[in-house]
Amino acid sequence: MSDTSLTPGIVAGRLDPKAYARNFSDLHPRLDGHEALVAADRCYFCHDAPCITACPTEIDIPLFIRQIATGTPEAAAETILNQNILGGMCARVCPTETLCEQACVREAAEGKPVLIGQLQRYATDTLMEAGTHPFTRAAPTGKRIAVVGAGPAGLACAHRLAMKGHDVTMYDGRDKPGGLNEYGIAAYKTVDGFAEREVDWLLKIGGITIETDKRLGRDMTLSEIKGAHDAVFLGIGLGGVNALGLEAEDKAGIADAVDFIAELRQASDLASLPVGRDVVVIGGGMTAVDAAVQAKLLGALNVSLVYRRGRDRMNASPYEQDLAASKGVRIITNAQPVAIHGNGAVREIEFEYTDNDLTPTGQTFRLAADQVFKAIGQALEGGELPDLDGRKIKVSDTGRTSLDRIWAGGDCAAGGDDLTVTAVAQGRDAAEDIHASLMG
């Protein structure tokens, strides 16, 4: 984060110590056994279940809910994990309200879907807490595969390849694996170090070695990695952050939202994190909402989220928008930043209203701001990459790139929707194609 010596409005410890634990408690506490049975009993167990089609990983949702209803949550978890090895995290962070639950027949009939996400968490938590790993490795194939990036796509790919009997080495630029799950998701969505525990559980399959602090382009080249392995999967995410394109963007008090979220996720004491009195977040996606809500939960007095288009164009789901509003975040739409004001440190951000087609209207307004977070998208980083499709790596349906023996998936690959569950599906499918390619 930026230097706070020039920004006296950015201070730590704005709240009573007990308030931090309360504000950052589990957003959706896990169902107990009775609650899970009641929730499971609402499922119609549809033969042609639309919820399966709506799930990017195509989990057999009616089956796993029936398994919960019959008192076998561990079997339900195995059904889930066969399709989505990160089913525990996805149960916490998936926008189920716009995916499986939106497609639920109960939602169409009653406006109240089956609690698919919470039932998925109940099942996967039950299995993980039992300490079991329901998958075993096939006989060794002798093939060595590199997975660059230990985020959701890379982890899903690595686990499936290890299960097939291949030896996998994962490289990640940070000091801990997990990627977005570890560094990029709001703390109240994944409490008690779950992301780290899920990775530890996943690695029980064996055959996976993780090397951290190894970044593509900085510590190794793609040619070097390819030369030492039979195949390569790129799950490198989007490391760069788009700029506002304004003068004085380097003023104190202006920072990237992803860095703020990562620092918060790794903090051992939330009361030690400095936050402004007047916070402005620029952007309309999940990162923007997570940054805005958490700034409010840390004690910021005024938090405004400003997006250049209308609410219906925000990448953050209506549920997340409503969550932000419920926490006291002011959402302003159809406005784009045009100037940053302040001597040395930001004091105000000036915005101009826009039409729906982003045409400036000439009407401007200013927001007081001692802390500004940019969340206007991220960019692909790294040299010697395969061909691009726009700003991301061009891939086939199974993740093949323009370079021989190199696959890609997750946020760095074109065609996805920047969701954890989609990244898992892409990593899993690429692993199946890598296996088929290597084994003839």
| SS3 per residue for the chain | CCCCCCCCCCECCCCCHHHHHHHCCCCCCCCCHHHHHHHHCCCCCCCCCHHHHHCCCCCCHHHHHHHHHCCCHHHHHHHHHHHCCCHHHHHHHCCHHHCHHHHCHHHHHHCCCCCHHHHHHHHHHHHHHCCCCCCCCCCCCCCEEEEECCCHHHHHHHHHHHHCCCEEEEECCCCCCCCHHHHCCCHHHCCCCHHHHHHHHHHHHCCEEEECCCCECCCECHHHHHHHCCEEEECCCCCEECCCCCCCCCCECEEEHHHHHHHHHHCCCHHHCCECCEEEEECCCHHHHHHHHHHHHCCCCEEEEECCCCHHHCCCCHHHHHHHHHCCCEEECCEEEEEEECCCECCEEEEEEECCCCCEEEEEEEEECCEEEECCCEECCCCCCCCEECCEECCCCCCECCCCCEEECHHHECCCCCCHHHHHHHHHHHHHHHHHHHCC
Along the 440 residues of the chain, how does pLDDT read in single tens digits? 445 456 789 999 999 999 999 999 999 999 999 999 999 999 999 989 999 999 999 999 999 999 999 999 999 999 999 999 999 999 999 999 999 999 999 999 999 999 999 999 999 999 999 988 999 999 999 999 999 999 999 999 999 999 999 999 999 999 999 999 999 999 999 999 999 999 999 999 999 999 999 999 999 999 999 999 999 999 999 988 899 999 999 999 999 999 999 999 999 999 999 999 999 999 999 999 999 999 999 999 999 999 999 999 999 999 999 999 999 999 999 999 999 999 999 999 999 999 988 999 999 999 999 999 999 999 998 778 999 999 999 999 999 999 999 999 999 999 878 899 999 999 999 999 999 999 98
How confident is the model at residue 5, as a pLDDT?
A: 56
Q: Residue 390 — φ and ψ, nearest 5°?
A: 75, -120
Structure tokens at 75: 């079997």
- The residue ranges of every structural domain in the chain are 17-24+241-377, 33-129, 144-239+380-438
30 Cβ contact partners less than 8 Å away, ≥ 6 residues apart: 118, 121, 122, 125
Q: d(Cα 151, Cα 346) in Å, to the nearest integer?
A: 34
Strand order in the sheet with 231-234: 208-211, 167-171, 144-148, 231-234, 406-408
Q: What superfamily does domain 33-129 belong to in CATH? A: Alpha-helical ferredoxin (1.10.1060.10)
Strands 278-282 and 302-306, sheet pairing: parallel
Distance CA 381, CA 354 (A): 31
Q: Scan for tokens 């910021």, then name that residue.
A: 300
Residue 162 CA to residue 256 CA, distance in Å, equals 36
Hunting for tokens 């620029």 — which residue is that? Answer: 282
140, 161 contact by CB (below 8 A) = no
- 144-239+380-438 has the same fold as 17-24+241-377: yes
Nearest CA to 83 among 424, 436, 392, 311?
A: 424
The pLDDT score that the predictor gives to residue 6 is: 63
What is the C-alpha separation between 351 and 307, in angstroms, rounded?
A: 10
Residue 118: closest CA among 88, 142, 147: 88
CATH of 144-239+380-438, one of 3.30.110.30, 3.50.50.60, 3.40.30.10, 3.30.70.20: 3.50.50.60
The topology under which CATH files domain 17-24+241-377 is FAD/NAD(P)-binding domain (3.50.50)
